[in-house]
Chain A
């Protein structure tokens, strides 16, 4: 009972927060199913589901379900009260989002009345109950249900993106005109999303029962097939994706490249660099200064400038790395943040304007020329960025498994012990900084050429935070995690314009939530999982012995 009220109140606060920061109103334009269910309702429903689930978890009898329903009821009531306040009191001077349209959304256009209250309470209680029910499904089933629901929502959201890609008859069938998914479309997507994982796990069970374990040959063949499929997908991407998608893919690719670079520094060597944008900026500006006729200092071609830009970035990586190496972890983070800001402020200043273009930036940066072709469309840049990412990936894998990689990880775990084991701390850290910087610089140089101009605003602290957030989401130190993180944190907001506004709000929440609930990330590196488990075990152990010691002291 108390638990239900507590969770209900927390849920209410979150619901108020979501409504008042304008998230609910912003997503109300995005239809998910027909023209009845918008994304804002989905967000609120998901919240109530979560509240119900949390309330009913670990309570195995029917009181859990009742509590879940009660908690959902509380959230429904809170939403109605918010609608009431918004309509009765004019808060718009202070709260930008507290508009009449918010009240309309919250009350389903029925106005703040008894029927809308009844509807909200009913929906709240029912959703809370369902959320409580989810807690009763066994874990594997739960994962499949949640996964399927998310996939359906995602397909509904990506309507405009899938539009040009899928064949028209499929589109007509799946989506309703002017809205989100059609009802049969939604059912089919949901059904498929449930059926495929169920069938897969069923098949695996059957195989395993027949032959004991899967033979290595089959596994290897399957992995090869998957890889080939991946290569075909990535290489053919611009052929079927149109301009917009290619553009988004380019940006995701640039962030993947940066993510891979920072992953070497943060993920492998454990050095939190909050000024990573400095390398991106140095790469971009080197490219600009070396090739743009505007400044007139140099007018090199793209291919000559590229290696020079990367070399300059590596050099600056060493230059920044040298003084900060002796610092403790958190000081290093702040110092690098300082460096990042210094680079941005210097670029912005009038002092260096003749050399770096000042606040207006630099335009007319060289395009890459390949024989008779000039690469200037996003679809063509895609391949360039793909090659860059491939290179970064290859380098990361090889470094991870090399002596240097192991030295980095040793330093990450314990610097003093690593040094005692004969690892040269300074060289190892410098190498991490330099290689990490090279990827950031490459990304920056490609970026400068892609958008054909550089302005200081593109190199704010937010870029660094973005890269750190995508690493944290995917799993610090995990290479596939970089991909997942970049797709989720760069790709999604680019695809869905309404999200842009709330991007950093979400990043903040992601950083906190991941650190608390899933420190290993969505796609964790294996050793990291093991370490975290060991650490948890150790903590439990010390807690136990601590208690024992304390009680012995008492005796």
Chain B
């Protein structure tokens, strides 16, 4: 443990020194930092949406749904075909708001279906098995989905059609980043309302708190778990469309990194804790966007942006080592 702390302190020191030297050198202007922050927040909003899926499933089943990144990918990928069709008819240009809503709804539907099937086929038969067993099936499911999409739709990168309305800037901020961030916030709000005010939301919360007690109170546990996967999947689908708006391309492997990062966000905020997942997503998005320039540039590391994923993975490992309960604390079973 001493060694772990030593490594941790060393890293912290490096981060501080790097930040100080970057700021002292003044390579970047205030406007650039502002851009980094805005981009980080938009990206963080997407991570937050995906992270909610991880955290909800963990809250209910105490398992890491490793294939959740692929659920996200499937939504983004299938919405691509709809977006293409809409763009070809000119609908995307004439009714951008409506078509964006339709795209999100479609992606949410696809992701939801895949998440529910995934639970039914790969996880339900193994409920109650030793902890590693569902994790191994989840890894298997992740690769199965990835390569199914690769087989179905090819391995190339597909470029999303652009939405004319979103090309531009308001107050010097790219419109699409604003839309993405607000979209993520709105979706979070809908999720909160769903969990708080509907009977299904109540059932999910009850099962997360105590599965057996909920079953004794007449909650259909299987249905509650299915709806957890469905809700998580829908959020991931929406996140998929938002991601495609920012990065404008889809590929079969695109789910892996956002998936891991969203998991990192979930752990960062305290897994099982819904506000924590949202907060964790935003924090991670920010750190990843600002980090390479802030921490690493000052240390004289060339091409620091190549290492932004290293930052994310390092945060993941550090959080798991030093504070596995996350920033807001693991609230397993407590109210969402």
Q: Looking across the interface, which residue of chain B has its beta carbon closest to that of A341?
A: B313
Asked if A329 and B317 sit within 8 Å, CB to CB, the answer is no
A350 x B126 contact (CB < 8 A): no
- A319-349 CB contact bits vs B (8 Å, 1 = yes)? 0001110111111011101110110011011
Q: A491-523 interface mask toward B, CB cutoff 8 Å, 1 = contact, 0 = none?
A: 000000000011011011111100110010000
Residues of B within 8 A of A331 (CB): 267, 320, 324
Task: Decide: B137 and A351 in contact? CB cutoff 8 A.
Answer: no
Do most interface residues of chain B lie in helix, strand or loop, or is the interface mixed?
Answer: helix
Q: A351-B301, A515-B133, A515-B136 are in contact. Are A334 and B321 (CB under 8 A)?
A: no
Q: Contacts A17-B148, A331-B324, A508-B140: A350 and B306 contacting too (C-beta < 8 A)?
A: yes
With A272-B135, A322-B3, A346-B310 in contact, is A507–B140 under 8 Å at CB? yes
In the complex, whether B87 has a CB less than 8 A from a CB of chain A is no
* Best-surrounded residue of A350, A511, A519 (most CB of chain B within 10 A): A511
B238 within 8 A of A: no
Are A322 and B306 in contact (CB-based, < 8 A)?
A: no
B177 contacts A by Cβ under 8 Å: no
Query: Within the complex, what minimum Cβ distance (angstroms) separates B284 from chain A?
Result: 13
Which residues of chain B are within 8 angstroms of A515 by Cβ–Cβ distance?
Answer: 126, 129, 133-134, 136-137, 140
Q: When the two chains form their complex, are residues A510 and B135 in contact, meaning their CB atoms are under 8 A apart?
A: no
Q: Give B136 Cβ to nearest chain A Cβ, in Å.
A: 6
Residue B52 CB within 8 A of the other chain: no
Chain B 177-207 near chain A by CB (<8 Å), digits 1 or 0:
0000000000000000000000000000000
Known: A274-B139, A323-B317, A507-B140. A342 touches B310 (CB 8 A): yes
Q: Are B147 and A505 in contact (CB under 8 A)?
A: yes
Cβ-neighbour of A468 out of B125, B136, B309, B320 (below 8 A): B136
Contact with A along B216-245 (1 / 0, CB 8 A): 000000000000000000000000000000
Q: Which residues of A contact B147 (CB under 8 A)?
A: 21, 502, 504-505, 508
In the complex with contacts A509-B140, A516-B126, A345-B321 CB distance below 8 A: no
Q: Tell which of B125, B128, B303 touches A349, judged by Cβ atoms closer than 8 Å.
A: B303
Least distance between A105 CB and chain B CB atoms (Å)? 16
Contact B144 A97 (CB under 8 A): no
Determine whether B24 belongs to the interface, using a CB cutoff of 8 Å to chain A: no
Contact B81 A272, beta carbon cutoff 8 Å:
no
Query: In the complex, how many angstroms separate the beta carbon of B139 from the nearest chain A beta carbon?
Result: 6
B25 at the interface (CB under 8 A from A): no
Structural contact, A330 and B310, CB atoms closer than 8 A: no
Instruction: Looking at the assembled complex, report how far the CB atom of B150 sits from the nearest CB atom of chain A, in whole angstroms.
Output: 8
| B56 CB–A CB distance under 8 Å | no
Closest Cβ of chain B to A456, distance in Å, is 12
- Given A330-B64, A507-B140, also A96-B148 (CB < 8 A): no
Kindly state whether residue A95 has any CB partner on chain B within 8 Å.
yes
A446 at the interface (CB under 8 A from B): no
Interface 1/0 per residue, A33-74 and B, CB below 8 Å: 000000000000000000000000000000000000000000
Q: Who on chain A is nearest to B1 by CB?
A: A326
B151: contacting residue among A97, A335, A351, CB under 8 A: A97
Residue of A nearest to B143 (CB): A508
- Does the CB pair B321–A327 fall under 8 Å? yes
Decide: B152 and A97 in contact? CB cutoff 8 A: yes
Is there contact, CB below 8 Å, between B321 and A324?
Answer: yes
**At the interface, yes or no: B90 with Cβ under 8 Å from chain A?**
no
The A414-468 residues at the B interface (CB cut-off 8 A) are: 461, 465, 468
B136–A342 touching, CB < 8 Å: no
Cross-chain contact B63 with A330 (CB below 8 angstroms): yes
Most buried by B among A338, A339, A350: A338
Interface residue A20 (Cβ < 8 Å from any Cβ of B): yes
How long is the Cα–Cα vector from A539 to B140 in the complex, in angstroms?
25
A95 touches B152 (CB 8 A): yes
The answer, among A322, A342, A350, for a CB contact under 8 Å with B313, is: A342
With most chain A CB atoms within 10 A of its CB, the pick from B134, B256, B321 is: B321
Q: Are B144 and A505 neighbours in the complex by a CB distance under 8 Å? A: yes
Does A472 interact with chain B (Cβ within 8 Å)? yes
In the assembled complex, the CB of B16 is this many whole angstroms from the nearest CB of chain A, namely: 19
Residue pair A96, B309 in contact (C-beta under 8 Å): no
Contact partner, B143, options A95, A335, A351, A505, Cβ 8 Å: A505
B6 to chain A, nearest CB (A): 10
The answer to whether B136 touches A472 (Cβ under 8 A) is yes
Q: Is B307 an interface residue (CB 8 A)?
A: yes
Q: Which residue of B lies closest to A26 (CB)?
A: B151
Chain A residues with CB under 8 Å of B136's CB are 272, 468, 472, 511, 515
Contact of A516 among B125, B143, B146 (CB under 8 A): B125
Contacts of B7 in A (CB 8 A): 323
B153 near A96 with CB under 8 A, answer yes
Query: Can you name the residue of chain B whose Cβ is closest to the Cβ of A516?
Result: B125
Give the CA-CA distance A349 to B310 in the complex, in Å. 10
Q: How far is the CB of B204 from chain A (nearest CB, A)?
A: 21
Inter-chain contact B306/A351, CB cutoff 8 Å: yes
> Contact at B303–A272, with CB atoms within 8 Å?
no
- Minimum CB–CB distance from A353 to chain B (whole Å) comes to 8
> How would residues 291 to 306 of chain B score, 1 for a CB under 8 Å from any chain A CB and 0 otherwise?
0000000000111101
Residue pair A351, B141 in contact (C-beta under 8 Å): no
Q: Does A22 contact B (CB under 8 A)?
A: yes
The reply to whether the CB of A94 lies closer than 8 angstroms to some CB of chain B is: yes
Q: Provide the bound-state CA to CA distance between A413 and B81, in Å.
A: 48
Q: Does A487 contact B (CB under 8 A)?
A: no
Known pairs A272-B132, A351-B302, A509-B144; A337 contacts B137 (CB<8 A) = no
**Which residues of B sit under 8 angstroms from A511, Cβ to Cβ?**
136-137, 139-141, 143
Select which of A22, A23, A96, A349 is within 8 A of B306 by beta carbon. A349
- Answer whether residue A475 sits at the interface, using C-beta atoms and an 8 A cutoff: no
Q: How far is the CB of B228 from chain A (nearest CB, A)?
A: 18
Decide yes or no whether A128 CB sits under 8 A from chain B. no
Q: Is B248 an interface residue (CB 8 A)?
A: no
A270 within 8 A of B: yes
- Tell me the complex Cα distance, A342–B140, Å: 22
Do residues A516 and B137 form an inter-chain contact, with CB atoms below 8 A?
yes
Nearest-neighbour CB distance to chain B for A394, whole angstroms, equals 27
The answer to whether B139 and A334 touch across the interface, beta carbons within 8 angstroms, is: no
A349 to B307, CA, bound (A): 7
Given contacts A508-B145, A511-B140, 14 further A-B contacts (CB under 8 A): A274-B139, A329-B131, A335-B316, A335-B321, A342-B317, A345-B309, A351-B303, A468-B139, A504-B147, A508-B140, A508-B144, A512-B121, A515-B134, A515-B136
- Smallest CB-CB A-B distances: 5 pairs: A511-B140, A21-B151, A508-B144, A508-B143, A505-B147
25 A-B contacts (beta carbon < 8 Å)? A17-B148, A20-B152, A97-B152, A272-B135, A322-B3, A322-B4, A328-B131, A329-B132, A330-B64, A331-B320, A333-B135, A334-B260, A334-B267, A335-B320, A339-B313, A342-B314, A349-B303, A504-B143, A508-B142, A512-B141, A515-B133, A515-B137, A516-B122, A519-B129, A539-B128
